Every structure is written in C-alpha cells, then in structure tokens.
C-alpha cells in the first residue's frame, strides 16, 4: 500500500485551490461537501466559479497563487490544467507546509483523492493508487446501488442510541440489535418517518427480552421475471440478509446464488396442475423458520401480489405473530410487453388492462369474455397454456375478431425468451408449441411492434 487512507478533519480549516476552470470546478464540487473554508486563486475564473464565490461559500482571489497565500491551509489542490503553472503553485504550497495534490498527476502529488460514496456521516473511500480508475468507478457504482440513500440519516439517528444500547449485553445481543436497526427496522422506519421512535421501541424490546433469540421476520419478495438484473435493489438487499430462502420453481439459480453463502435454500416448487408442496406445508415452513429467529425470504417469481397466493402466507404469519413485509417485483406481463416493444395501455386503444389467470381452483377460469372480445381490449393471461383452446373458443363465441393480434411470450426476460406472434384464430396452436414446463404468458390484443428488426428476427409468426 503506497497510499494510506485516512479521514482528515476539515471542519473550519483552510483548504486552498489554484485554478478556475472545469478541473478546478470538479474538485470544488467535492470539497464543498466538507465544512472546510475554501479559497480559490484564479486569474480568470469561469462564470461557474465566480457564481460559487458569489454565494459566499468559497473565497475567490483573482490572481495566481503567490508566496504567503497558503497560511494555515492543510491541503492544497493544483487544478490549473497547465503543467508548468501547477508545478509552480505546488512548489509554493509545499514550501508553506500544505499537503499537495496536483490533479491528474499522481507521481507529483502528496495525496490522492479517492472515489467517494457519500452517505454522510457514512463515507466510503475507494482508491486504486491510480492503477484502475475505471475499476474504482465500477466499485463505486456497485456500492451506490447497495447502500440505501437514507443510510446517512439512519446512521446519524442510530448514533444517538449508542450509549443507551450499552444496556444490552455486549456481543451477540448488541450485534443483533444493531443489525436489525441497519438492515430491517431502520430502513423501513426511515421510509415511513419516525425512525427515532422505531429504534427506541426496538431497543426497549431487545432490552426486555431475556432470551437472546429474537423473533424472526418474513420478507415476501418478488424475484421478477427471471433476469437477475430485473431484481429490485430491495430484493437484493433482502437476499443479502436472509438466513432462509424459500423459493418457487420459477426463480432461477442465478438469483438464488445472490443469497448469502450460509443461507438455507429451500425449493417449494409448484407447477400448474401438477403435484407440489401443499400451500399449508409452505406456510408452516415459513412460519417455523421465522419463529426460530430466522430472517426468511419467501421468494416468488414476478410480483408476489399477482397470482402469488400471497394473502395465505401473510395470514399464516399474522396467525403466528410473525412480522412480515412485501417487496414488489416486476411481473411477467411487464417483461413480456417489453420484449415485443409494446405498451400495456395506449391512449385511444385501451384505457384499462386485465391480468387474468387461465385456470383457477375450479379449472379453466371464466372471465368477462364480452369485454375481452371488444376491439382494442388488452389482457395478459398468466398460466394460460392448458386453457388456450378454451380461451380462444370463449373469445370467438363472444364476437372477437379472428384476426385480433395475440403474442405468446415464453421465458420472458431470459436468454431463452421466445415470442410467437399469432391471432386469436391461431392462439391454441401457438400455445401448443411452447414446451411443457416453460412459463409462458399470452398477451391478448397485442402483436409485436413490427418496426423492430431485431424483434422480428426472433419471432415466429403463426396463424
């Protein structure tokens, strides 16, 4: 390690910068995040730098840096974009005792400025000693996505509980309290407002609890249509913290691999009409793990609120006194329309949209066929493979035009995605061609957008 990372106290201290152009401005933006007192030396500053000075937030001296200007400043930035001028100012600053950074000149600098993820007071500094700035940026982007935007506020509020949390036994009890503050209760409370009260109540509960085994929690999480990049950041975070992941058949391995290595992964796959884990058994599994103190992630394909039997699982949690929350996901219909370049609603065509199931507890599901048969009607039909012929018949019987466009999208969002363009007249045949066990959704009233060449290439045209 050639450069040692430290966090320097700058509150009320002087920082001097030479230069008044774009490079100087970029550094100034960063320095303005601190509470340092900043002075800029520039013979001809840009309008943006002048505007900053006009706000009073920085001091501006309209000439080049001269001996005696550094004063008590600890840090000096040479940002004149001119090698000779930078070297000259750097020499002055160094002689007068400041640590010097020459922008984009690592070799001639005393320190370098890291890439920063700012969740003040939580700050992450990333340095590669100039070896891989692109890598630093991508690590920064990863962390930006991973750390909640409100983390700083939460940390500040949490800090006010530091001394009262000493009431908890050191070690596991304290760790569990803080983990819950930062991973679960805190982020949720910040979103809803009232984080102080929530953390206070949490501390009370933890203090009162004699057994260190605290109650678990169940997150009912939407895993999206399959592409791991279509997971929400919240879903990812839940997976990061899960002790137990209970998942449906539709959730691909790649997503399960995002869970912690120590997490217990339990498949409870359900398949159309086929044999599968009974819902009661799934409920029992969820509840028993949560009761043993585990953070359970119940991971469901798409969005958990759409044909997901969510309410039964929530009721089971409630009956058992287990806390739960729902994390939405991208539903299959959204991924499917994206694949054909269409909208689910369109001004002048359809002002409403139906999400239908092909079968319900009684078998083939009945719907408002008359409304569905009207020109312009759009519906996304889930689990419609076995009932495609029935749906086709019902629509025709209620006067739907045989040539109404229909798209059948299998494995939406996955590399194996396949789109079949058909019409109501050819619906059953198009669906019959989709392989057994592959999820497919029927988009009634929507054909693939013809203009998209790449799409047209991978689309099979039928009936």
Which residues bind to ligand SAH, rule: CB under 6 A?
225-226, 250, 300-303, 306-308, 331-332, 335-336, 382-383, 409-413, 439-441
Collect all residues with Cβ–Cβ distance below 8 Å to 167 and sequence separation of at least 6: 203, 207
Residue 52 and residue 42: Cα distance in Å, rounded? 13
240, 270, 360, 433: the catalytic one is 270
Closest distance between ligand SAH and the C-beta of residue 350, in Å? Answer: 20
Q: Min. distance of Cβ 455 from ligand SAH in angstroms? A: 16
DSSP 338: H
Q: Could you identify the residue written with the tokens 């001269």?
A: 66
Tokens of 308: 């997901």
248 is catalytic: yes
- Residue tagged active-site, from 69, 227, 248, 303: 248
Of 136 and 381, the one with the shorter C-beta distance to ligand SAH is: 381
Q: Round to whole Å and give the CA distance between 137 and 126.
A: 9
Residue 423 zone, left/alpha/beta (φ > 0; ψ -120 to 50; rest): beta
Nearer to ligand SAH, 48 or 365 (CB): 365
Q: In this complex, which beta carbon is closest to ligand SAH, that of residue 219 or of residue 303?
A: 303
- Nearest 5°: phi and psi at 352? -145, 160
Helix axes 133-146, 233-241, angle to 10 degrees: 80
| Dihedral over Cα of 429, 430, 436, 442: its sign | negative
Q: Which is nearer to ligand SAH, 106 or 414 (CB)?
A: 414
CB contact set of 291 (below 8 Å; sequence gap of 6+)? 215, 216, 320, 322
Minimum separation from the CB atom of position 439 to ligand SAH (A): 4
Q: Is 270 a catalytic residue?
A: yes
Q: Which is nearer to ligand SAH, 158 or 220 (by Cβ)?
A: 220
Q: Least distance in Å: CB of 444 to ligand SAH? A: 13
Q: How far apart are CA 40 and CA 76, in angstroms?
A: 10
Residue number closest to ligand SAH, CB atom: 302
- Least CB distance to ligand SAH at residue 250 (A): 5
| Six-digit token string for 364 | 């083939």
Catalytic residues: 248, 270
């Amino acid at each position: 390690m050639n450069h040692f990372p430290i966090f320097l106290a700058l509150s009320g201290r002087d920082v001097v910068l030479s230069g008044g152009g774009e490079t100087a401005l970029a550094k100034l933006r960063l320095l303005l995040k601190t509470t340092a007192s900043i002075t800029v030396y520039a013979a001809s500053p840009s309008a943006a730098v002048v505007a900053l000075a006009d706000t009073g937030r920085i001091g501006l001296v309209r000439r080049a840096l001269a001996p005696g200007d550094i004063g008590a400043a600890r840090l000096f930035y040479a940002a004149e974009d001119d090698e000779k001028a930078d070297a000259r100012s750097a020499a002055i600053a160094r002689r007068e005792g400041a640590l010097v950074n020459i922008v984009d000149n690592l070799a001639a600098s005393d320190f370098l400025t890291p890439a920063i993820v700012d969740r003040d007071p939580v700050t992450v500094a990333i340095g590669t000693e100039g070896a891989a700035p692109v890598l630093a940026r991508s690590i920064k982007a990863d962390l930006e996505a991973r750390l909640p935007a409100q983390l700083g506020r939460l940390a500040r509020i949490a800090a006010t509980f530091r001394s009262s949390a000493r009431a908890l036994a050191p070690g596991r009890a304290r760790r569990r309290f803080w983990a819950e503050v930062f991973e679960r209760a805190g982020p949720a409370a910040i979103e809803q407002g009232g984080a102080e009260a929530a953390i206070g109540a949490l501390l009370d509960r933890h203090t009162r609890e004699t057994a260190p085994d605290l109650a678990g929690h169940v997150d009912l999480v939407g895993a999206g249509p399959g592409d791991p990049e279509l997971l929400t950041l919240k879903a990812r975070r839940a997976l990061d913290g899960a002790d137990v992941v209970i998942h449906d058949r539709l959730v691909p391995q790649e997503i399960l691999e995002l869970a912690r290595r120590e997490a217990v992964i339990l498949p409870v796959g359900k398949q159309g009409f086929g044999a599968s884990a009974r819902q009661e058994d799934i409920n029992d599994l969820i509840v028993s793990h949560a009761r043993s103190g585990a953070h359970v992630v119940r991971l469901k394909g798409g969005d958990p609120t759409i044909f997901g039997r969510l309410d039964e699982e929530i009721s089971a949690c409630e009956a058992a006194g287990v806390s739960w929350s729902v994390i939405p996901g991208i539903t299959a219909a959204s991924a499917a329309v994206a694949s054909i370049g269409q909208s689910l609603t369109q001004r002048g065509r359809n002002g409403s949209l139906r999400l239908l199931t092909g079968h319900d507890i009684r078998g083939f599901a009945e719907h408002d066929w008359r409304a569905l048969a009207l020109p312009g009607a759009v519906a996304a039909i889930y689990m419609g493979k076995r009932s495609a012929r029935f749906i086709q018949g019902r629509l025709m019987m209620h006067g739907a035009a045989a040539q109404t466009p229909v798209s059948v999208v299998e494995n939406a969002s996955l590399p194996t995605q396949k789109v079949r363009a058909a019409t109501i007249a050819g619906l059953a045949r198009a669906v019959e061609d989709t392989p057994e066990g592959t999820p497919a959704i029927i988009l009634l009233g929507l054909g693939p957008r013809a203009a998209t060449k790449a799409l047209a290439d991978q689309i099979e045209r039928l009936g």
